[in-house]
A and B are shown apart, each in its own frame.
Chain A
Amino acid sequence: MHEFATEKEFSRRNFGRGSLGVLALAALGGPLLSACSPGASGGGAAAQAKGTLPDFIRYEGVTPDLKGTDLGIPDVFYRYPAQPVKALGQAPGDGKAITSMVQTSSPIPPGVDKNAYWQELNRRLGSDLQISMTPATDYPSKFATVVAGDSLPDIFQVARGANSVPQLLQAKAANLTKHLSGGAIKDYPFLANIPSESWSAAMFGGEIFAIPIPRGVLQSTIQYRREDLLAAKGITAQPTSFQEYLSLCKELSNPKGNTWALTQVPINFIAQTLNVPNGWREEGGKLTSKDETPEMKEALEAGRKMFADGVVNPDAFAANAGQFKQWFLAGTAYFTGDSYSAWPAYYQQAAGQEGFKISALDVPGFDGGKGSLWIGSPTHSVVAFNKGAGDRLETFLHVANWLAAPFGTEEYLFRKYGVEGVHYALSGTDPVPLDSGVGQTQLGQQYLADAPTVLYLPGEEDVVKAQYEQMNRVLPDGTASPVEGLYSETEVRKGGQLEKKLRSVRDDILQGRQAVTAWDDAVKDWRSGGGDKIRAELEEALAASKA
Chain B
Amino acid sequence: MSIETRRKPPSPLGETTTPVKRRKQSWWQRMWRDRMLLAFALPGMVLLLLFHYVALLGNVIAFKDYQPFLGIWESVWTGLENFDVLFNGDPDFLNALRNTLVLTFIQTVFVFPVPIVLALLLNSLLSERIKKLVQSILYLPHFLSWVIVVAIFQQMFGGSGMVNNFLRSNGWAALDILGNPDTFFALLTSQVIWKDTGWGTILFLAALSQIDSSLYEATAVDGAGRWRQLWHITLPGLRGIIILLLILKLGDSLSVGFEQIILQQAAVGVQASEVLDTYVYNNGIVGGSWGVSTAVGLVKGLIGVVLVLAANKIAHAFGENGVYKA
Show the binding face of A for B, using Cβ within 8 Å. Answer: 12, 15-19, 140-141, 144-145, 147-148, 150, 163-164, 167-168, 171-172, 255-256, 258, 260, 313-315, 317-319, 332, 493-494, 496-497, 500-501, 504, 507-508, 511, 513
Q: Which of B216-275 contact A (CB under 8 A)?
A: 263-267, 269-271
Instruction: Tell yes or no: B165 within 8 A of A by CB.
Output: yes
Closest Cβ of chain B: how far from A490's Cβ, in Å?
Answer: 12
Cβ-defined contact, B270 with A496, below 8 A:
no
Cβ-defined contact, B69 with A171, below 8 A:
yes
Instruction: Give the chain B neighbours of A497 by CB distance below 8 A.
Output: 282-283, 286-287, 289
Instruction: Give the chain A neighbours of B71 by CB distance below 8 A.
Output: 148, 150
Cβ-defined contact, B160 with A258, below 8 A:
yes
A140-B286, A493-B288, A507-B269 given; A314·B174 CB < 8 A: yes
Cβ-defined contact, A16 with B160, below 8 A:
no
- Complex Cα–Cα for A315 and B288 (A): 30
A167-B67, A171-B70 given; A314·B179 CB < 8 A: yes
Determine the residue in chain B with the shortest Cβ distance to A495. B287
Instruction: Tell yes or no: B169 within 8 A of A by CB.
Output: yes
Instruction: Tell yes or no: B181 within 8 A of A by CB.
Output: yes
Instruction: Give the chain B neighbours of A171 by CB distance below 8 A.
Output: 69-70
Instruction: Tell yes or no: B158 within 8 A of A by CB.
Output: yes
Cβ-defined contact, B67 with A496, below 8 A:
no
Could you jot down 27 A-B contacts, CB within 8 Å? A15-B286, A18-B265, A140-B286, A141-B285, A144-B68, A168-B68, A256-B169, A258-B168, A313-B159, A314-B158, A314-B164, A315-B160, A315-B178, A315-B267, A317-B179, A317-B267, A318-B179, A318-B264, A319-B154, A496-B286, A496-B287, A497-B283, A497-B289, A500-B286, A500-B287, A501-B270, A513-B181
Number of A-B contacts (CB under 8 A): 102
Instruction: Give the chain B neighbours of A313 by CB distance below 8 A.
Output: 159-160
- Complex Cα–Cα for A92 and B283 (A): 42
- Complex Cα–Cα for A332 and B159 (A): 13
Extra inter-chain contacts (14) besides given A16-B282, A18-B266, CB under 8 Å: A12-B286, A18-B267, A140-B285, A145-B68, A164-B67, A168-B69, A171-B69, A255-B174, A258-B168, A314-B160, A315-B154, A317-B266, A318-B158, A513-B181
Cβ-defined contact, B269 with A17, below 8 A:
no
Q: Which of A147, A314, A493 has the most CB of B within 10 A?
A: A314
**Per-residue 0/1 for B146-174: is the Cβ within 8 Å of any A Cβ (1 yes, 0 no)?**
00000000100011110011001100001
Closest Cβ of chain B: how far from A57's Cβ, in Å?
Answer: 33
- Complex Cα–Cα for A493 and B291 (A): 13
Closest Cβ of chain A: how far from B109's Cβ, in Å?
Answer: 28
With an 8 Å Cβ cutoff, the count of chain B residues facing the other chain is: 36
Closest Cβ of chain A: how far from B292's Cβ, in Å?
Answer: 10
- Complex Cα–Cα for A150 and B68 (A): 8
- Complex Cα–Cα for A313 and B161 (A): 11
Cβ-defined contact, B158 with A172, below 8 A:
no
Closest Cβ of chain B: how far from A407's Cβ, in Å?
Answer: 36
Cβ-defined contact, B69 with A318, below 8 A:
no
- Complex Cα–Cα for A513 and B176 (A): 13
Cβ-defined contact, A255 with B68, below 8 A:
no
- Complex Cα–Cα for A496 and B285 (A): 11
Cβ-defined contact, A318 with B68, below 8 A:
no
Determine the residue in chain B with the shortest Cβ distance to A259. B160
- Complex Cα–Cα for A500 and B262 (A): 14
Closest Cβ of chain B: how far from A522's Cβ, in Å?
Answer: 12
Determine the residue in chain B with the shortest Cβ distance to A147. B68
Instruction: Give the chain B neighbours of A511 by CB distance below 8 A.
Output: 179
- Complex Cα–Cα for A500 and B181 (A): 18
Instruction: Give the chain A neighbours of B267 by CB distance below 8 A.
Output: 18, 315, 317-318
Closest Cβ of chain B: how far from A411's Cβ, in Å?
Answer: 34
Determine the residue in chain A with the shortest Cβ distance to B159. A314
Closest Cβ of chain A: how far from B180's Cβ, in Å?
Answer: 9
Instruction: Give the chain B neighbours of A318 by CB distance below 8 A.
Output: 154, 158-159, 178-179, 264, 266-267
Cβ-defined contact, A16 with B288, below 8 A:
no
